[in-house]
Chain A
Amino acid sequence: GAVVSQHPSWVICKSGTSVKIECRSLDFQATTMFWYRQFPKQSLMLMATSNEGSKATYEQGVEKDKFLINHASLTLSTLTVTSAHPEDSSFYICSAQGGLAGFAGRETQYFGPGTRLLVL
Chain B
Amino acid sequence: QKEVEQNSGPLSVPEGAIASLNCTYSDRGSQSFFWYRQYSGKSPELIMFIYSNGDKEDGRFTAQLNKASQYVSLLIRDSQPSDSATYLCAVRGYGSGGSNYKLTFGKGTLLTVNP
Which chain A residue lies CB-closest to B106?
A43
B102 touches A43 (CB 8 A): no
Q: Are A111 and B92 in contact (CB under 8 A)?
A: no
Residues of A within 8 A of B101 (CB): 32, 49, 97
Partner of A103, one of B42, B49, B102: B49
Q: Which residues of B sit under 8 angstroms from A112, Cβ to Cβ? A: 43
Please report the C-alpha to C-alpha distance between residue A46 and residue B101 in the assembled complex, in whole angstroms: 12
Contacts of B108 in A (CB 8 A): 43
Whether, in the assembled complex, A76 has its beta carbon less than 8 Å from a beta carbon of chain B, the answer is: no
B13-53 interface with A by 8 A CB criterion:
32, 34, 36, 42-46, 49, 51
Tally of B interface residues using CB under 8 Å: 20
Docked complex Cα distance between A110 and B46 (Å): 7
Secondary structure type dominating chain B contacts: strand
B103 to chain A, nearest CB (A): 6
Give residues of chain A (44-69) contacting chain B, Cβ–Cβ below 8 Å.
44, 46, 49
Q: How many cross-chain pairs have Cβ atoms below 8 Å apart between A and B?
A: 45
Report B95-110 residues with CB < 8 Å from chain A CB.
Answer: 101-103, 105-108
A113 touches B92 (CB 8 A): no
Inter-chain CA distance A112–B43, complex, in Å, is 7
Find B45's partner among A34, A49, A104, A111 (CB 8 Å cutoff): A111
Interface membership of B88, Cβ < 8 A: yes
Also in contact, A107 and B32, with CB within 8 A (given A32-B101, A43-B107): yes
Residue ID in chain B nearest A113 by CB atoms: B43
| Additional A-B contacts beyond A43-B108, A93-B44, A109-B46 (19; CB < 8 A) | A32-B101, A34-B103, A43-B88, A43-B106, A43-B107, A44-B44, A97-B101, A103-B32, A104-B49, A107-B49, A107-B51, A108-B49, A109-B90, A109-B103, A110-B46, A111-B36, A112-B43, A114-B42, A114-B43
Task: Please list the residues of chain B having a beta carbon within 8 angstroms of any beta carbon in chain A.
Answer: 32, 34, 36, 42-46, 49, 51, 88, 90, 92, 101-103, 105-108
